[in-house]
Amino acid sequence: MQESEQDQNQADTETWAEVEAIEAAIRAFMNLADAQGRKIGDAKCGVYAYFGWEGSPLYVGQTDEGLLNRVWADMISSSSFLEKSGRSNYEVADVEVWPLWGLESKSAEVKTKTLDAVEASVFKRLLRGSKLGAVLIARYVSKSNLIELPPSFRGRIMPAPAFTAIEICEECGEPYDTGDDGWCGLCPDCADRKEAEEEEEEAEEE
């Protein structure tokens, strides 16, 4: 076997090991039970939020297709919102979920209003607590009236950031994929420096 084929096989093996580790972490978290003994991953409707390794909120979303299905798709699928936004799932450390039990049996109007209100309330709470003053992956969130939130559950769904593609941003302390041109893209300082450098390069070319 050629050396390049051996290297590729080794890379494939490591990739599958990483995926299996992520899947195991998601299963362990989603098997947690609430006070009534219900597995949180069994909730059909709910709101969820992802956090980076330093606790910064990355994204808030809602689902009526199952919390387990939504998180699984985001963390495992190549067509997830992370890929579409040019980010890596390795930037996610934790997830917090707000299960909305029984909401799937309500009318479409009630379901939409409830999901929008909970999502908006979660977004506002995380925005107030963010050290960077932002939920880092932009998404439109309905301007619903804020409500008291139901009980939530938070846990680690990504193994420790020991993957070779990860480095730590000196500005904000968050990890980033080294394929992102050396910029984490998470914090305002990185964004401002990247924009300034690109403008300087354009000026030099002119």
Say if residue 143 is exposed, middle or buried (CB neighbours under 10 Å; 0-12, 13-18, 19+): exposed
Query: Within the chain, which residue ranges are assigned CATH 3.40.1440.10?
Result: 3-163
In eight-state DSSP terms, residue 39 is: B
Tell me if the pTM is above 0.75: no
Q: Which residue matches tokens 């798709």?
A: 73
- Yes or no: say if 48 and 59 are a contact pair by the CB < 8 Å rule: no
pLDDT (tens place) for every residue of the chain, 206 residues total: 455 554 444 444 456 677 888 899 999 999 999 999 999 999 999 999 999 888 889 899 999 999 999 999 888 875 566 666 666 777 888 999 999 999 999 999 999 999 999 999 999 999 888 877 778 776 767 777 889 999 999 999 988 654 444 566 666 655 555 544 555 555 556 666 667 777 777 777 76
As a CATH number, domain 3-163 is 3.40.1440.10
